Amino acid sequence: MSTATPQVVATVISVTGVAFARNADGAVRRLAAGDTVLEGETVFTLAGGEVELAFADGHHATILASESYMMGPEAMVATSPGAGEAAIAAAGEVGKVVAALEQGGDILEGLEAPAAGGPGGENAGNDFVRLLRIVEPVTPVGYEYPLNTLEEIRAPEGDAIPEEGGENDLPSAGEASATVDDDGVGGNAGGTGDWIDTNLDGDNDETTYSGVLPHSFGSDGPGEVNLAAMDGLSAAVGTETVTFAWNDVSNTLTATITGGDRDGNPLFSVQVNPATGEYTVTLLDNVLHESLDGLEGDDTENDTSVVLTYNVVDGNGDVATGSLTVNFDDDVPVVEMAEQYRPVSATVYEDALSTTAEPSDSSEGNLDAGQDNTYDEASGLAGSLAALVTTAAGADEPSSLTFGLLTDTSSLPTLYSNGVELSYAVTDEDSDGVNDTLTASAGSTVVFVLTVNPDGSWAFDLEDQLDHVDTDSDTTTALVTDGDPVNAIDFSSIVTATVTDADGDSATLDGLAAGAFSIAVQNDVPTIVANEQATPVSATVYEDALSTTAEPSDSSEGNLDAGQDNTYDEASGLAGSLAALVTTAAGADEPSSLTFGLLTDTSSLPTLYSNGVELSYAVTDEDSDGVNDTLTASAGSTVVFVLTVNPDGSWAFDLEDQLDHVDTDSDTTTALVTDGDPVNAIDFSSIVTATVTDADGDSATLDGLAAGAFSIAVQNDVPMLDADNMVIRKEDGLSGTATLGALAGADEPASIVLSIDGLEDGDQIDALTSGGEPILYRATATGFEGYTDVEGVQTVIFTVTPNLVDGTYTVNIAGSLDGAGGEIIFDLSDGITGGNSDDFFLLAPDVDFESSTIISEDNPGNNDDLYAGVDPETGLANPGGLVIHAYAFNNNGSLTVNSSAFSLAVGAGQSVGVDDTLVLEFTQASSWQYDKSGGNKGLYDDPDTDKSWELVDNLRFNLFDFSAGEVIEFTLIKHNAMGNPVVVDSGTITALPGFVDLSGSNGMSVELLQGMTSGTVINFLQFDFDGGSLSGQYDTIQFSAGSGDFKVGEIAIVQIAEGSDQSFDVTATITDADGDVATDTFTVTLDGQDGLVGGSLDDALIGGEGNEILVGGGGNDTLTGGLGADTFVWNLADKGSVGSPALDTVTDFEAGDTLNLNDLLPDVNTASYLYVTQTAAGTTIHVTDGSGATDGTADVQTIFLAGYTGDAAAILNDLVNNQQHTAS
């Protein structure tokens, strides 16, 4: 072992990993930069380690990982050889070496054995061979190296020690491959597709690859392994060209890029250990790999390679070549979600939708304060999405980051627009090959559009409504889905981010992290306000139309005006009629619905009254739909009105009872009494609610409309009076009722008072008297009465009283009235005495000829004085007194009148026999003169005076000696103005079977009554008249025996005595519950004359006990005949007209009463003017215009016979043939 002092051989420049120095004694020290290495020390590295040394001569050497090197004397600084040492330069030695290399020969064959450098140290050899010295001859003078005595000869590891004297053996080479990865350059080691081989030198550095080039030096001993053959050559690596340069000092081959943007940039290097063949490929820059131009795999690592040629030179210079394939694993960029990021989000507002501002919009939103129509859009600038991802360009920098959209939208929420599920479509709108636009549609309507641009900018445009949860909130963003609501639309899942490196490799992140990119859509809600410009909704209802009959829920009976009917107490509006009172905006979530209802707070309604009772209000939900719809106003338990407001904006108002109006007597006022000032209408605006609800259920409610927007006026009803005049017979005990037309109307109850204007209690009523005493006026509680006061004794003569219940008044005659007409009954039974004469006279009680004064001294018979009749009570002449003149005749001439104490007969037989005629003439006293001289006392015709006749209505007499089956004939005669007799009627009286024969003084009382009809039966006597009924007055009656004999006796005459008519006007005043007053004046006529005749207005005619003749006159009259056989007469002037016929009523048409239509009906074609209808209430006779119509359309007069249900055909037949009909 050498004992020389160790000298410094080299200085440590840098150390990577771990490196040591071990001296000959085995001591080991760890090396660091700046340390020195001594001669004889062995430097070695561990796996992953590397040490760079600088030697004294200025050259550097690197000891790679897991290598060792012993620093021998050759590493020390040496004296440069002189020119003589440059043997390679002499004798053409260089040319020999080069030629040998080019020919593949052995360079040693032509050269002298060289000095190969310093001797190898223990367990190590030199790390380099100085090529210039391989041809230098050994010059003992120049190189006197000390010789070491070797303990043993060691061969390099793995090599055999060649034997001396053998054949020349050739070296060998093989194929090797190395792989480096761009990822290591870009810092993306371990990325997807990266190449990692942990079996390579253990450092996992993808930019380096270390290995051993296959070689064998053969028996010629070690030489070197190098890549010198690549020096100056060019090759394509990826998309670029490199040129190789071999550095024999560092035994490194460097590939440098030639051309292009990276011209002159080293791409990679290969360093070779000449002795061991160990090599390291180092990637110095990224390789620009070929692109697949969009073909499959284009976005994956597109690897490339280059083949290098290496030489193996053995100890005697023989060369073998091999190949080293260097594979360049491509580096691709990396994109992934950033570990920390701020989500990209925005909010758009349905409020800002506007078809006007943006025609592509499909809804009209309700802008909030501060908003404009751009608020339905949101956007981000270029790069705004970049912060969401982390990218690594890798080795192939620079890279670009682009964004787009996936077509798979299945991860997007299921959304709705107006209940229609959205569909999604992703398209490439700019045709750049990247999907950039998401369109969401509801049917054919675009709801929103999301655009994501490649540069990371984006835009969202809301174009139609989205359904939000029903919160009525204008700020909610909660959207309806098919599951739980979402507060924003998360688009993260469809956003793609693609990073593309310099050689076109790209990596794509399909979908961002949930919530990374979202858009919230804020709800829009509808709005509703009162429309101050709207035409108010108003209506008027009428108290007049209230009717308990037509509408049982009503509680009053109004007085209808002309043209009204019982629906006028109601008013209503169609669906939507209230809609114009509000202004609504559905907002974005159209369509909207508008519903109406009522508030329960009625405190703003006016305080109203009904018949003085304050109304109470109640609001209810009658249809149980959750919305109050009905307002009921009541006075106590009585409903006054009901207002219904339906959800669809229709409404109905039903007045059911009176409302108190101010006291104006006006039928048209609507001013209602309140607890303050009157109101002209009930304003319901304050209690009407209007709610607008949009398509996704948001609603806005307006509680109360503008004042006056919705009101109902209630027109006042006033009482009515339309009284009929009354004509009533002056008859003690007679009572008559006529209509007042008194109707309280809706504002019941009412009060009514009858009075005579201008009279006070105690004043005389016109000129009315009773028994010569004035009749005085006195008001009663509701009417008045006429009374007499004779020395303090007061007697009520008549009363006039109203009846508000049935709207009538009654005149009741309780005492006698002066000026009354009536029947004068002459009972002559006492005036008949026995005798027989040609003429027989019966004098009425008021005629006395004996007491009369002389009227003439010229007696045509015996010159005695003649006297006129006088009234026995007064002594005054009574020329109008009744005188009955009886005489008889037969075919042979005059017969005597035979009288007995009780009867009259003819001739000596004292009966009226067959062919005999008994005549009774009814005359006035002025027709006769009395001769009271001697035995010739009697009456004679007054030669100077025409006979004056007294008309008879009814004749009462007794029949004697009359038997069953016998017939009495009679003829009624009336003398005309000329004194000529005219037959009024004729007929027969027949005794029926069962009749009890009359004999002696046993007689039967018989009356020939006006109105009697043929077939009338009285006490087994049947009467028949030629005219069908007995009508008209007569002054003469003739009796004849049709068969058998008879006698007439106990004669009584019923004569109409004319009186005077007196009338007075009555004022009727009716006052209803709220103070309205109506008045009317009617006339009461106290009739004392023959017949009751009405005027041109509506009249009530009240007959008495006698046989009345009633003529209603014009208007609609009510006729009551009373007792007796009454005749009801209609004149032509009394009828109405087509469309407005006169409507008359006969209240008591009974047997014996007659209808006389002679003047009303024409003489020809009578049937075409008449038809008869009947109901259970009675019979109606219709007189028409002659058109033959029987449906009421042609009526000009109707006559209703109340309670009369006679044979309609018989009635019609009588009227057609005779213009009269008499009840049977």
- Tens of pLDDT, residue by residue over 918-937, are 999 988 877 777 776 655 56
CA distance 1145 to 1121: 11
| Torsion, Cα of 1163, 1165, 1169, 1175 (10° steps) | 100
The pLDDT-based confidence of 193 (bands split at 50, 70, 90) is very low
Q: How many CB atoms lie within 10 A of CB 913?
A: 17
* Residue 92: pLDDT over 70: no
pLDDT tens-digit readout, 1089-1125: 767 888 888 888 998 887 888 898 999 999 998 888 8
Q: Which residues pair with 20 in a beta bridge?
A: 30, 44
pLDDT tens-digit readout, 269-284: 999 999 899 999 999 9
Q: Could you state, in order of their start, the residue ranges of all structural domains in the chain? A: 8-133, 172-331, 336-524, 528-715, 722-821+1060-1078, 822-1057, 1091-1224
Grouping H, G, I as helix, E, B as strand and the rest as coil, residue 1069 is strand
10 Å CB burial of residue 401 (0-12, 13-18, 19+) is buried
Whether the bond between 749 and the residue before it is cis, its omega within 30 degrees of 0, is yes
Grouping H, G, I as helix, E, B as strand and the rest as coil, residue 84 is helix
* Highest mean pLDDT (candidates 96-110, 204-218, 506-520): 506-520
Q: How many CB atoms lie within 10 A of CB 432?
A: 12
- When pLDDT is averaged across residues 432-452 and rounded to a whole number, the result is 96
Q: Do 1079 and 1066 contact (CB within 8 A), yes or no?
A: no
* Residue 780: pLDDT over 70: yes
Q: Which residues pair with 1119 in a beta bridge?
A: 1101, 1146
pLDDT at 472: 83
The residues, ordered by sequence, that sit 6+ positions from 758 with a Cβ below 8 Å of its Cβ are none
pLDDT tens-digit readout, 286-297: 888 776 665 555
The residues, ordered by sequence, that sit 6+ positions from 624 with a Cβ below 8 Å of its Cβ are none
Hunting for tokens 């560092």 — which residue is that?
A: 250
pLDDT at 447: 97
The upper half-sphere exposure of residue 756, i.e. CA atoms within 13 Å in the direction of its Cβ, equals: 22
**Which candidate, 412, 360, 1068, places its Cα nearest to that of 757?**
1068
Q: Which residue has the higher pLDDT, 823 or 423?
A: 423
- When pLDDT is averaged across residues 1191-1216 and rounded to a whole number, the result is 91
Phi, psi of 391 (to 5 degrees): -120, 150
* Residue 1027: pLDDT over 70: yes
C-alpha separations of 522 from 187, 347, 377, 519, 975 in Å: 45, 7, 12, 10, 114
**Which candidate, 556, 534, 739, places its Cα nearest to that of 638?**
556
The residues, ordered by sequence, that sit 6+ positions from 199 with a Cβ below 8 Å of its Cβ are none
- When pLDDT is averaged across residues 311-332 and rounded to a whole number, the result is 86
* Highest mean pLDDT (candidates 198-207, 314-323, 695-704): 695-704
The pLDDT-based confidence of 125 (bands split at 50, 70, 90) is very low
- When pLDDT is averaged across residues 183-201 and rounded to a whole number, the result is 49
Q: Kindly calculate the radius of gyration of the chain based on its CA atoms and give it in whole angstroms.
A: 75
Q: Which of 91-95, 369-373, 602-606 has the lowest mean pLDDT?
A: 91-95
The pLDDT-based confidence of 512 (bands split at 50, 70, 90) is very high
pLDDT tens-digit readout, 896-919: 888 776 778 887 667 888 889 999
CA distance 39 to 70: 8
**DSSP 3-state helix, strand, coil percentages of the chain (rounded to 5)?**
5, 40, 50
Q: Which of 129-133, 342-346, 714-718, 728-732 has the lowest mean pLDDT?
A: 129-133
- Please provide the average confidence, as pLDDT, over all residues in the chain: 83
pLDDT at 157: 47
pLDDT at 299: 55
C-alpha separations of 734 from 236, 237, 785, 811, 1086 in Å: 149, 147, 15, 8, 11
pLDDT at 556: 92
DSSP 8-state code for residue 566: T
pLDDT tens-digit readout, 16-47: 877 888 887 767 688 888 888 888 888 888 76
The pLDDT-based confidence of 840 (bands split at 50, 70, 90) is confident
Q: Which of 45-59, 254-268, 1168-1182 has the lowest mean pLDDT?
A: 45-59
Q: Which of 343-347, 449-453, 633-637, 801-805 has the lowest mean pLDDT?
A: 801-805
The pLDDT-based confidence of 144 (bands split at 50, 70, 90) is very low
10 Å CB burial of residue 1182 (0-12, 13-18, 19+) is buried
pLDDT at 653: 98
Buried b (16+ CB within 10 A) or exposed e, 938-953: bbeebeeeebbbbebb
pLDDT at 141: 40
Share of the chain above pLDDT 70, in %: 83
**Which candidate, 961, 831, 844, 968, places its Cα nearest to that of 899?**
831
The upper half-sphere exposure of residue 549, i.e. CA atoms within 13 Å in the direction of its Cβ, equals: 6
**Which candidate, 265, 224, 280, places its Cα nearest to that of 248?**
224
The pLDDT-based confidence of 729 (bands split at 50, 70, 90) is confident
* Residue 865: pLDDT over 60: no
The pLDDT-based confidence of 352 (bands split at 50, 70, 90) is very high
pLDDT at 160: 44
Which two structure tokens, joined as six digits, stand for 1019? Answer: 């006490």
pLDDT at 1068: 95
In the chain, count of helices (H) and strands (E)? Answer: 3, 91
- When pLDDT is averaged across residues 432-454 and rounded to a whole number, the result is 96
Whether the bond between 73 and the residue before it is cis, its omega within 30 degrees of 0, is no
Grouping H, G, I as helix, E, B as strand and the rest as coil, residue 335 is strand
Find how far residue 1159's CA is from the centre of its chain. 66
The pLDDT-based confidence of 111 (bands split at 50, 70, 90) is low
CA distance 196 to 202: 10
C-alpha separations of 348 from 418, 476, 790, 1132 in Å: 18, 12, 108, 91
DSSP 8-state code for residue 660: P
Start-end of H helices in 670-798: none
CA distance 326 to 329: 10
DSSP, residue by residue, 393-438: --SS---EEEEEE-S--TTS---EETTEEPEEEEE-TT-SSS--EE
The pLDDT-based confidence of 485 (bands split at 50, 70, 90) is very high
- When pLDDT is averaged across residues 506-530 and rounded to a whole number, the result is 94
Q: Which of 179-188, 690-699, 1010-1019 has the lowest mean pLDDT?
A: 179-188
C-alpha separations of 822 from 239, 327, 816, 1088, 1104 in Å: 152, 157, 12, 7, 9
